[in-house]
Structure 1
């Protein structure tokens, strides 16, 4: 994959690509905005997954029974992953044409409104079949917002960051995702800890959704105070913006879009099995106490955050490719061993299995922000990066939790581990094909990648 590359002079006021990050104190403000905004967005997105595992089968699908209700609940959870690529195209279009900041404000508003309405939703016992239908509609809105969120949050950091530290500064969006997992499970943990099971099912599950209102207000205040990125502003002034970024991305870099999606699959596959499905598996199949499982899910959120930082720092030193290759290689082996280990059924084993899964995911995820930013041209970077990320989320984040229960019931945990390992193997192959990206400047006409 070889294209011509044009070097340009950094815009006035933009970070010097070769300078150390310490000389750019404004990066702390940008990184904080990226981190907090993503925490809020993916807290909203993530609490639905926890609720889908713990309470939605009884609240919205009581007539189906426990097993079928769980499958239906995760199906509504998975709908958002189908919506995410459309959200990346929609918000990516405006992010590439009007600016990263405006698009990110819109994604946060949409996510916040949809999440608060979920918390207000009448149950199936009150309005019948209308309840799950409305839940699906709101989940689609969450998916659209999530599809537009990640790329914009990453670009906010990467397009401000000095070249030599781009991996570190670009990881704050993913770091926020780990924080969101911890916060979402902490909210449910506290709710279940101070409520009886009946009270939690009756109305306690609504508290985490309604609490999103305060978080959204904080997030909007932060994002309104951040300037547009210098890379986007220079591109808009000098060459103009793309009329249809989606078509331009597929005209110039169609293969890179697909390979990038394959590369980031490993993080999604492990994150949504570890952070979502294992909550259901631990409580329903292993019959572990709910508070213990949620506590381990919080530890998992901390583990993925630690992995993200480590993966990002290593990617600045050794390159994006080799960090992802190493994490994906370990993930293939771990995926095959995970469920046989968990089926021992002890708390100690679960306390190892879930956090280790999330830590490996974090290492693979750490370089992704820089990797996706570096791979695509500014004119359609928001759209292309977001679409790659969202396609991976749909295939590797939405599908495995949906099929896990039926595959494990029919063929056993090792069979599902083989499927999980297959996702990790796809990432390993794709990143080897794409090659290294850390040598690229973000201000260039086209992308050059060498395997």
Structure 2
């Protein structure tokens, strides 16, 4: 089951990273050539945010599909929509060919990706955590989070290969489209891997025994509304940090420095490998010192990073490398347990739906607008303002962790 969970999460994050990298390297040139590079990148980041806004609506719709037709039907429909939207993005004509209609198509397909991601929630992460021995809950909660750094390694590495292995003309003509076709292939593999798990009688019985069944949004909000609100802010620092380490600095390096995008993408690959190790370490530390202590310490580290990070990023090559490596260590320690902390806040009867809704809303609040806001603040006020934006997310998470401590919610798993 663990392998199926990792494959599924890797596919989801790979789709995101491919689109995010294209927002910096491709879309400003091919879809927004009528504005300057900074404005084109901001427009691209605005399109990036559309998926996060659409995701909660997708969750609501596909939870209904789950209750009515079953989990296998929901996953098949959601991942088919996700794969179709993703591969279609790779086929979009340029602005020179189609004009404003090309931008409209991109927005529609991005919304389709987000809507589909809302249905990609399969409950396997929660089932994995609930099935774990008491002293290994942190380790098993960490496993699904490994998908993010793995996906970044593959996505960034693929773009490095393409940008260095072909001319700029070929890359902007057709080379940039290739990662979207790869994403479609990965989604197909992820679909079959997950269906092999959730569509079997044994696992249906395990879902039922652990009370991981879809419930209506109305009853879930009535029973778990307060925990959902707190849960939205619990992973805020981690989710914002993910974008402040990947999408935003890539845009900053591309627009405001002389460093090559391929060079910084290579640094991101190294950072993601470090983050992979830090994520795994978070499982051990969580089981040793406790999830709340680990998240509190990591979030305090993110708050300090929000102050120091902009200075490092502004130093150039060496500073940027330290920025990425240090940032991914903190991200791995916090991100590795952030989703587990959310799931642990809910009672079993509502955990399936409440976890999906809370995760969607947390991504909207913590990550959806993070690249746009950070780049806009940097262009308007300087790098320190982007750091202040991240700091605000860390403060929100610390408050949420404090509330969880007072209520004892994180101990309900």
Shorter-chain TM-score above 0.5: yes
Confirm or deny that 1:288 pairs with 2:259.
yes
Per-residue CA distance 1:141-171 (angstroms, 9 max, x = gap): 1112223335634224224333332221222
Paired with 1:98 and 1:379, the residues of 2 have a C-alpha distance of 20
Q: Is the 8 A contact 1:312 1:367 kept in 2?
A: yes
Paired with 2:300 and 2:70, the residues of 1 have a C-alpha distance of 37
**From 209, 221, 224, the counterpart of 1:234:** 209
Shift of 1:306: 1.9
- Equivalent in the alignment of 1:381: 351
Paired with 2:120 and 2:385, the residues of 1 have a C-alpha distance of 34
Paired with 2:69 and 2:206, the residues of 1 have a C-alpha distance of 13
Q: Alignment partner of 1:390: what SS?
A: helix
Alignment CA distance shift 1:64-1:58 (3 Å): same
Q: Is the 8 A contact 1:232 1:378 kept in 2?
A: no
Q: Alignment partner of 2:174: what SS?
A: helix
Q: Alignment partner of 2:34: what SS?
A: helix
Equivalent residues in 2 for 1:62-141 (5 A)? 62-95=33-66, 101-141=72-112
Paired with 1:35 and 1:241, the residues of 2 have a C-alpha distance of 21
Deviates more, 1:312-321 or 1:202-211: 312-321
Equivalent residues in 2 for 1:247-262 (5 A)? 247-262=218-233
Q: Is the 8 A contact 1:115 1:138 kept in 2?
A: yes
Paired with 1:97 and 1:207, the residues of 2 have a C-alpha distance of 37
- Equivalent in the alignment of 1:429: 399
- Equivalent in the alignment of 2:412: 440
- Equivalent in the alignment of 1:372: 342
Q: Is the 8 A contact 1:191 1:205 kept in 2?
A: yes
Per-residue CA distance 1:247-304 (angstroms, 9 max, x = gap): 1121011111011110100111110111111111122212211211110111222232
Shift of 1:415: 1.9
What number of residue pairs does the alignment pair up? 407
- Equivalent in the alignment of 2:386: 416
- Equivalent in the alignment of 2:217: 246
Paired with 1:354 and 1:408, the residues of 2 have a C-alpha distance of 18
Moved over 6 A (4+): none
Paired with 2:127 and 2:66, the residues of 1 have a C-alpha distance of 11
Per-residue CA distance 1:363-386 (angstroms, 9 max, x = gap): 111112332222223333222112
The structure with the greater share of residues assigned to helix is 2
Shift of 1:438: 5.9
Confirm or deny that 1:222 pairs with 2:193.
yes
Paired with 1:104 and 1:319, the residues of 2 have a C-alpha distance of 33
Q: Alignment partner of 1:427: what SS?
A: helix
Alignment CA distance shift 1:90-1:158 (3 Å): farther
Deviates more, 1:89-98 or 1:55-64: 89-98
Paired with 1:64 and 1:107, the residues of 2 have a C-alpha distance of 35
Deviates more, 1:97-106 or 1:165-174: 97-106
Q: Alignment partner of 2:344: what SS?
A: helix
Alignment CA distance shift 1:303-1:92 (3 Å): farther
Deviates more, 1:353-362 or 1:102-111: 102-111
Per-residue CA distance 1:93-150 (angstroms, 9 max, x = gap): 4456766555344332222111111111111111111111111111111112223335
- Give 5+ residue unaligned stretches, structure 2: none
- Give 5+ residue unaligned stretches, structure 1: 1-29, 442-451
Per-residue CA distance 1:63-105 (angstroms, 9 max, x = gap): 1221211110111011111112222333344456766555344
Paired with 1:323 and 1:192, the residues of 2 have a C-alpha distance of 39
- Equivalent in the alignment of 1:210: 181
Q: Alignment partner of 2:259: what SS?
A: coil
TM-score (structure 1 length as normaliser): 0.85
Cα RMSD for the two superposed structures? 2.1
Per-residue CA distance 1:324-371 (angstroms, 9 max, x = gap): 1111111111111111221112x1111111232222122111112332
Q: Is the 8 A contact 2:237 2:394 kept in 1?
A: yes
Deviates more, 1:265-274 or 1:384-393: 384-393
TM-score (structure 2 length as normaliser): 0.92
Q: Is the 8 A contact 2:344 2:412 kept in 1?
A: yes
Per-residue CA distance 1:393-444 (angstroms, 9 max, x = gap): 1121112211222211221111221121010110011011112556435xxx
Paired with 2:361 and 2:50, the residues of 1 have a C-alpha distance of 13
Paired with 1:104 and 1:315, the residues of 2 have a C-alpha distance of 31
